[in-house]
Amino acid sequence: MTRVLRIAAAQMGPVNSAEPRRATVSRMMGLLDQAADDGCNLAVFPELALTTFFPRTYLADLHKADDFYEHDMPNADVQPLFDLARRRHIGFSLGYAEITTEGGAKHRYNSQILVDRDGLVAAKYRKVHLPGHADYRPDDPFQNLEKYYFEVGDLGFPVVNAFDGQVGMCICNDRRWPETYRMMGLKGVELIMLGYTTPIHNPRAEQSPELRMFQSRLCMQAGAYQNSTFVVGVAKAGREDGVDLMGGSCIIHPNGRVIAETKGVDDEIAVADCDLDDCLNGKAEEFNFERNRRPELYDGLLASHGSIR
State which residue, 35 or 193, has the beta carbon closest to ligand CDT.
193
Q: Which residue is catalytic, options 127, 190, 250, 279? A: 127
Proportion of the chain in helix, strand, coil states, percent, rounded to 5 = 30, 30, 40
142 and 207 in contact (C-beta within 8 Å)?
A: no
Q: Is 172 a catalytic residue?
A: yes
CA-CA-CA-CA torsion for 145, 211, 245, 137, nearest 10 degrees?
20
Please report how close the Cβ of residue 208 comes to ligand CDT at its closest, in angstroms: 14
State which residue, 127 or 283, has the beta carbon closest to ligand CDT.
127
By residue count, the chain amounts to 309
Q: Residue 25's CB: how many other CB atoms inside 10 A?
A: 19
Please report how close the Cβ of residue 125 comes to ligand CDT at its closest, in angstroms: 14
State which residue, 82 or 109, has the beta carbon closest to ligand CDT.
109
Q: Which residue is catalytic, options 40, 47, 236, 274? A: 47
Question: Where on the chain is the footprint of ligand CDT (CB under 6 A)?
Answer: 47, 131, 144, 172-173, 176, 196-199, 202
d(CA 236, CA 59): 22
Please report how close the Cβ of residue 95 comes to ligand CDT at its closest, in angstroms: 10
d(CA 76, CA 92): 18
Q: Which residue is catalytic, options 40, 172, 250, 274? A: 172
Please report how close the Cβ of residue 198 comes to ligand CDT at its closest, in angstroms: 4
State which residue, 47 or 116, has the beta carbon closest to ligand CDT.
47
Q: Is 47 a catalytic residue?
A: yes
CA-CA-CA-CA torsion for 33, 253, 119, 127, nearest 10 degrees?
-120
Q: Is 127 a catalytic residue?
A: yes
The residues that are catalytic are 47, 127, 172
